[in-house]
């Protein structure tokens, strides 16, 4: 489910031999968090997930990191583990929905509604096991209260649902390039069928882009940029030191042997991006099983995104930058807290990188070979699906090849 009322329109103008023009028009609201300004900080965090139909957990976790950094609050280890599990469960659930419900539509296959339902219900059960009172997910400083045995059982159920519906085998099958190639060739699950269809149709390298993958960004420089009065243009069309980047599963897993082999053969196009999402689902399922037993451990450690960063204006004004790797890419939240209330709250979301006028989608579309409008349209639809925007996206093709 994507937010109603917001959408991206992609328009391609075809010439006789090439795509002559690409326009990406978005009416996404990039300043939604402004409604939180003026509110007590804890109240604002309670409202934050309600602003987003997708990736609400990722948004909340990034917001918590920003607020806690601004307030100088150190989160206990078991809370960090619980939050990492929440985000991983959401990522697996979001990816499974795309792979089992949305991907089949593009090959004319029937969606695996039952498989998607099982994954989503298992993810929700794990989230309940970690936070029996869901209101405490957004409590500053932490509110997790898991029973370790329940969390472990819920994690195993989620990993099992992923193995059955997405992978057709335990999550470890994505360990190397040979595993992934064998899986694409032989697995019976819907995602494997889709990747085989992409190869059969010659669309593996559709949308190949030379846009670089998003690296680590200096959090203090980014915080300063997000605090400027002209931030609106940056939030709509971000670039860093003049460069537009791609974020998402490919950026996170592009160096893994299983994905790197596809990138070397087919480039950073449709197949590599779809496969990166499959690999990430397997990786996150393994992580969930590994972390769940430590959800009550006061000495547990967990890898987190770079940051957060913090600073102060005066004794009562502080800022924090929170970062989270959500399902669709890297999220940044910048929050200024003044006298216990939100003075500014700004969010830089992944869709604005990937659907930038010079971003991965736009460059890939410009590089498409033009044979007929129908094939261009089909390739464009796959490219949009592979980049997975957080709002609805419509593609329109015009020009001589369309006549």
Give the residue numbers of the binding site for Mg(2+): 347
H-helix or E-strand spanning residue 72: none
Residue 23 and residue 399 in contact, taking contact as beta carbons nearer than 8 Å: no
Tokens at 199, concatenated:
């190869």
Instruction: Give binding residues for Ni(2+) as ranges.
Output: 390
Residue 378 and residue 395 in contact, taking contact as beta carbons nearer than 8 Å: no
- Rounded CA-CA distance 403/401 in Å is 6
Residue 70 and residue 310 in contact, taking contact as beta carbons nearer than 8 Å: yes
Cβ atoms within 10 Å of 149's Cβ, excluding its own: 12
- Rounded CA-CA distance 69/335 in Å is 9
- Rounded CA-CA distance 50/66 in Å is 18
Instruction: Give binding residues for Fe cation as ranges.
Output: 393
- Rounded CA-CA distance 193/187 in Å is 8
Residue 285 and residue 163 in contact, taking contact as beta carbons nearer than 8 Å: yes
Tokens at 365, concatenated:
């579309």
DSSP state of 5: T
Place of tokens 């980047």: 245
Cα distance from N-terminal residue to C-terminal residue, the chain: 34
Considering only the C-alpha atoms of the chain, give the largest distance between any 2 of them, rounded to a whole number of Å.
66
């Amino acid at each position: 489910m994507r937010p109603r009322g917001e959408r991206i329109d992609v328009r391609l103008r075809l010439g006789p031999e090439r795509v002559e023009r690409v326009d990406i028009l978005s009416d996404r609201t990039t300043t939604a968090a402004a409604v939180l300004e003026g509110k007590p900080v804890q109240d604002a965090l309670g409202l934050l997930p309600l602003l987003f139909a997708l990736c609400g957990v990722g948004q909340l976790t990034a917001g918590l990191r920003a607020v806690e950094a601004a307030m100088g609050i150190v989160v206990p280890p078991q809370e960090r583990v619980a939050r990492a599990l929440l985000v991983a469960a959401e990522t697996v659930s979001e990816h499974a929905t795309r792979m089992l419900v949305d991907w089949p539509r593009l090959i004319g296959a029937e969606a695996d509604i039952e498989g998607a339902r099982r994954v989503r219900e298992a993810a929700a059960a794990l989230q309940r096991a970690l936070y029996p009172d869901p209101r405490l997910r957004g409590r500053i400083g932490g509110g997790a209260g898991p029973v370790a045995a329940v969390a472990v059982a819920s994690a195993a159920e989620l990993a099992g649902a992923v193995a059955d519906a997405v992978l057709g085998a335990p999550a470890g099958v994505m360990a190397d390039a040979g595993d992934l190639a064998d899986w694409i060739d032989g697995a019976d699950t819907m995602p494997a069928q889709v990747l085989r269809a992409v190869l059969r149709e010659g669309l593996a390298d559709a949308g190949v882009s030379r846009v670089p993958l998003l690296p680590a960004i200096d959090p203090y420089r980014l915080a300063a940029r997000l605090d400027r009065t002209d931030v609106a243009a940056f939030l709509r069309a971000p670039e860093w030191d003049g460069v537009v980047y791609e974020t998402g599963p490919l950026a996170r897993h592009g160096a893994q042997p299983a994905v790197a082999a596809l990138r070397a053969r087919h480039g950073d196009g449709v197949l590599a991006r779809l496969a990166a999402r499959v690999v990430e689902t397997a990786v996150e399922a393994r992580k969930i099983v590994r972390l769940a037993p430590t959800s009550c451990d006061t000495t547990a450690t967990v890898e987190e995104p770079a940051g957060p960063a913090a600073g102060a204006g005066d004794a009562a004004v502080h800022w924090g930058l929170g970062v989270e790797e959500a399902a669709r890419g890297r999220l940044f939240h910048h929050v200024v807290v003044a006298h216990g209330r939100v003075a500014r709250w700004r969010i830089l979301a992944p869709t604005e990188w990937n659907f930038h006028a010079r971003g991965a989608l736009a460059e890939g579309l410009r590089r498409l070979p033009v044979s007929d409008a129908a094939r261009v349209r089909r390739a464009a639809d796959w490219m949009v699906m592979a980049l997975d925007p957080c709002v609805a996206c419509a593609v329109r093709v015009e020009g001589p090849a369309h006549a």
